[in-house]
Structure 1
Amino acid sequence: MPASFVPPRQVKIGDAAAFAGCTPRAIRHYHGIGLLPEPERGGDDRRRYGYEDMIRLLWIRRMADAGIALEDMRDAFAEDPADAQDGDGIEALLARVEESLAAQETELRRQRTAVQRMRVEGSRVGLLSDLVTERLKGLPEGSLRQADLDTLLVTERIFGPLGAAVQATRFVALATHPALREESDRIDDAEEALDDSVAVDDPRVAQVAAERHAFETALHAAIEESGLDEDDDALFDAWDAAHPETGDDEENGSGSNSGRAMSVLEATGKMPYDFSPARLRCMELAEELSAKKA
């Protein structure tokens, strides 16, 4: 430093901001929230910043660059106002920030893994949990339909991965039995035809219900004949072994944090289905036929 140069004992807000790498407006904000004590004003009624003020300001800028919230800094500095930058409050804050960053890294890795999985499996299949995806592997390409995967997505939201994996058995059977798939499509169309123009006591309602019952019976027989029901038993055993304490089938096997599974009653009130009264009556009649057989 040249001998003729004498550093200032205090600087104005513009010089303080330029040295710290921020703006005067930012410094005023720090004052406003109680993060940076407001210094005394000079004879010209302007703020003057000394060495300790600049040290605090540099701490603030470094911590902000690390992603620490201003409010958290303020609370940490307040715990040790005499020597904030060396105090326990700062150490505790940094420890919390490190834990938070580690948690964010873990979540980012999970999200990246999920995106990679969607790309490998296909976006709609990849949305399902590993448990369900594994159940669908090996099927002929194109044998699963978008509506099948959408149904499994809804089922997983209501009943969890185990419930959706069991339901996947149905679509496996349909994918491997073309005649059953054709009959399923025919009955689906017949049910959709029971729109609001059809009365609940229309003979077609009972007829379609009987056809639905007959189809479900045939589908169940195909599942048993192909041994898919035994796969379901193995699936239950594996799930129970992996969840010995709670048997919690609401846990998402993909690690997704999409929320807990909900009850059928909750789902009924929150998931919209545009079913006419005639179609609802058809469903009731089909269930009654199944109950009588049981």
Structure 2
Amino acid sequence: MHLSFTPPRQVKIGDAAAFAGTTPRAIRHYHQIGLLQEPGRGTDGRRRYGYDDMIRLLWIRRMAEAGIGLDDVRATFDGTQDIDENLRRLEETLAAQEADVKRQRAAVQRLRAVGSPLGLLSDLVTDRLGHLPPGAVRPSDVDALMVTERIFGPLAAAVQASTFIVLATHPELRAEEDRLDAAEASLDDGVEPDDPRVEELAAQRYAHLKEIEHAIAAAGLEAAEAALFERADDDEEPERQMSAYEAFTKMPYDFSPARLRCIELAGQLLGREAADS
């Protein structure tokens, strides 16, 4: 049996959209922005699309699928903009998007491998702490590493990780850390900055930090820190980090003047030692 078929000379918007792989709403938008000339209407008041309309619509869809913006598509059709310039800018955009996707995939893979929020930090940090048992690194430790990474970058956070390795593996140092944290928090309860307890706690914090330094050296973690600098040089350029001043003005800390004074005094003790050495 022989079947004959005569293609339609014109089609309605729904059929045009189905053939082009788009939607009637999108075609109406093309009309509104002048990308596709609005065709005539039939006796029923509906638009009718012919062969030339469909060719134009197919090219619009192909260019849009390639990532070319609709304004650039229109400018290309109008001859007011060079397609090569559009493609150059598109390639730059796609390269940036590809780099973003690569970073996102790496973050997801780290998160799955580590199995905790620690995996959302850079691989420099997670690689240093990944050997510790679950729960050894406290959520507050991860918070501190995240802040350090945001301000000073992954390398600084990876170096700071030595402190949390020592705290996780030396119960006596962790206990002293907890005691000092509680004592410093108590300074927020109406203690004046010139209270003798402030200076005393600063001296205790300084001594505690020195004990941590000794434990880091005894555990051989300094060699691992040195290797980080070489590895960091091979990594891709990280996101721009804030300056310490920017961080101070943007990162809120609800510390009392007494606690801030305690931090300042401990920092002065460390600075004095560095200057004398």
| TM-score (norm. length: structure 1) | 0.76
Deviation at 1:176, TM superposition (A): 1.8
Q: Are 1:218 and 2:211 counterparts? A: yes
Q: Are 1:193 and 2:183 counterparts? A: no
Q: Kindly indicate whether the alpha-carbon contact (under 8 Å) linking 1:158 and 1:261 is maintained by their aligned counterparts in 2.
A: yes
Q: Which residue of 1 aligns with 2:34?
A: 34
SS in 1 for 2:31: helix
- Write the distance in 1 (CA, Å) between the matches of 2:166 and 2:15: 75
Q: Kindly indicate whether the alpha-carbon contact (under 8 Å) linking 1:213 and 1:289 is maintained by their aligned counterparts in 2.
A: yes
Residue 175 of structure 2 aligns with an amino acid whose one-letter code is E
Deviation at 1:265, TM superposition (A): 0.9
Quote the RMSD (CA, aligned, Å): 3.6
- Write the distance in 1 (CA, Å) between the matches of 2:224 and 2:263: 28
- Write the distance in 1 (CA, Å) between the matches of 2:55 and 2:254: 65
Q: Which residue of 2 aligns with 1:256?
A: none
- Write the distance in 2 (CA, Å) between the matches of 1:154 and 1:142: 20
Cα gap change, 1:39/1:185 in structure 2, threshold over 3 Å: closer, same or farther?
A: same
SS in 2 for 1:209: helix
- Write the distance in 2 (CA, Å) between the matches of 1:234 and 1:20: 56
Deviation at 1:38, TM superposition (A): 3.4
- Write the distance in 1 (CA, Å) between the matches of 2:8 and 2:212: 89
Q: Kindly indicate whether the alpha-carbon contact (under 8 Å) linking 2:111 and 2:117 is maintained by their aligned counterparts in 1.
A: yes
Deviation at 1:19, TM superposition (A): 5.9
- Write the distance in 2 (CA, Å) between the matches of 1:194 and 1:75: 65
Q: Kindly indicate whether the alpha-carbon contact (under 8 Å) linking 1:35 and 1:74 is maintained by their aligned counterparts in 2.
A: yes
Query: Structure 2, unaligned stretches of length 5 or more?
Result: none
Q: Kindly indicate whether the alpha-carbon contact (under 8 Å) linking 2:124 and 2:228 is maintained by their aligned counterparts in 1.
A: no
Q: Are 1:262 and 2:255 counterparts? A: no
- Write the distance in 1 (CA, Å) between the matches of 2:102 and 2:168: 34
Q: Are 1:133 and 2:163 counterparts? A: no
Residue 288 of structure 1 aligns with an amino acid whose one-letter code is Q
Deviation at 1:15, TM superposition (A): 6.6
Q: Which residues in structure 2 correspond to 1:226-245 (within 5 Å)?
A: 226-236=219-229, 238-239=230-231, 242=233
- Write the distance in 2 (CA, Å) between the matches of 1:292 and 1:24: 73
Query: Structure 1, unaligned stretches of length 5 or more?
Result: 81-87, 244-248, 253-258
Cα gap change, 1:70/1:208 in structure 2, threshold over 3 Å: closer, same or farther?
A: same
Deviation at 1:223, TM superposition (A): 2.1
Q: Which residue of 1 aligns with 2:256?
A: 276
Q: Which residue of 2 aligns with 1:59?
A: 59
Residue 139 of structure 1 aligns with an amino acid whose one-letter code is L
- Write the distance in 1 (CA, Å) between the matches of 2:139 and 2:224: 24
Cα gap change, 1:75/1:120 in structure 2, threshold over 3 Å: closer, same or farther?
A: same
- Write the distance in 2 (CA, Å) between the matches of 1:73 and 1:199: 67
- Write the distance in 2 (CA, Å) between the matches of 1:25 and 1:43: 22
Deviations 1:240-263 (CA, angstroms, capped at 9, x unpaired): 7x35xxxxx9944xxxxxx31111
Q: Which residue of 1 aligns with 2:266?
A: 286
Residue 281 of structure 1 aligns with an amino acid whose one-letter code is R
Cα gap change, 1:9/1:260 in structure 2, threshold over 3 Å: closer, same or farther?
A: same
Identity %: 62
Q: Are 1:182 and 2:162 counterparts? A: no
- Write the distance in 1 (CA, Å) between the matches of 2:34 and 2:204: 74
Residue 164 of structure 1 aligns with an amino acid whose one-letter code is A
Q: Kindly indicate whether the alpha-carbon contact (under 8 Å) linking 2:119 and 2:126 is maintained by their aligned counterparts in 1.
A: yes
Q: Kindly indicate whether the alpha-carbon contact (under 8 Å) linking 1:250 and 1:261 is maintained by their aligned counterparts in 2.
A: no
Cα gap change, 1:27/1:272 in structure 2, threshold over 3 Å: closer, same or farther?
A: same
Cα gap change, 1:63/1:212 in structure 2, threshold over 3 Å: closer, same or farther?
A: same
- Write the distance in 2 (CA, Å) between the matches of 1:180 and 1:20: 68
- Write the distance in 2 (CA, Å) between the matches of 1:179 and 1:205: 23
- Write the distance in 1 (CA, Å) between the matches of 2:122 and 2:16: 54
Give the number of aligned pairs.
273
- Write the distance in 1 (CA, Å) between the matches of 2:11 and 2:200: 90
Q: Which moved more, 1:94-103 or 1:209-218?
A: 94-103
Cα gap change, 1:283/1:7 in structure 2, threshold over 3 Å: closer, same or farther?
A: closer
Larger RCO (CA under 8 A, 6+ residues apart) = 1
Q: Which residue of 2 aligns with 1:170?
A: 163
SS in 1 for 2:72: helix
Cα gap change, 1:185/1:251 in structure 2, threshold over 3 Å: closer, same or farther?
A: farther
Deviation at 1:178, TM superposition (A): 1.2
